[in-house]
Amino acid sequence: MAESRSERGLDVGVGVGVDVGVDVGVDVVDVSRLSRVISLRGPALVHRVFTAAELRDCRGSVPRMAARFAAKEAAAKALGTGIGPVGWHDVEVRSDTRGAPVLTLRGTARAVARTRGLGRWAVSLSHDATHAAAVVVATGIARTGPT
């Protein structure tokens, strides 16, 4: 039997006109390319892109840095801005006590998210020796009536 929208918790009423924004960003990073760039540019680049807390979480692992780099790019894509208007430190990807990634927005990223009504963020990271990937999903606050 097919599951209805309301059974999945997506429907709050027929004809109500609920608008819940959902935005997605995806990015893939070549780990060896990032490693080469870090070797060429050194600590200045690493500290420009990553917060001190992110670097502690990565424990020197370039694949972990690449996954966080991908998440920052993916978050900026979900915001609709890309990196540039949103700075590298405006998006921080940390590990919670279980090791799961947690995305935090600051500065311009937070302001853009508020303007767009995006309040909940989910992030998934993956990496191996050659590639790192991240998916970021932003969901908004339910609004009724015309948009």
- List domains and CATH numbers for the chain: 19-140 (3.90.470.20)
pLDDT 10s digit of each residue in the chain, 147 long? 443 333 333 333 344 445 567 899 999 999 999 999 999 999 999 999 999 999 999 999 999 999 999 999 999 999 999 999 999 999 999 999 999 999 999 999 999 999 999 999 999 999 999 999 999 999 986 555 555
Query: Is 73 known to sit in a ligand binding site?
Result: yes
Query: Is 3 known to sit in a ligand binding site?
Result: no
The separation between CA 80 and the C-alpha centre of its own chain, rounded to angstroms, equals 12
CA distance 47 to 45: 5
Q: Which two tokens stand for residue 81?
A: 């801005």
Q: Which two tokens stand for residue 122?
A: 């989910």
Strand order in the sheet with 118-127: 22-30, 131-140, 118-127
What is the three-class DSSP state of 84?
A: coil
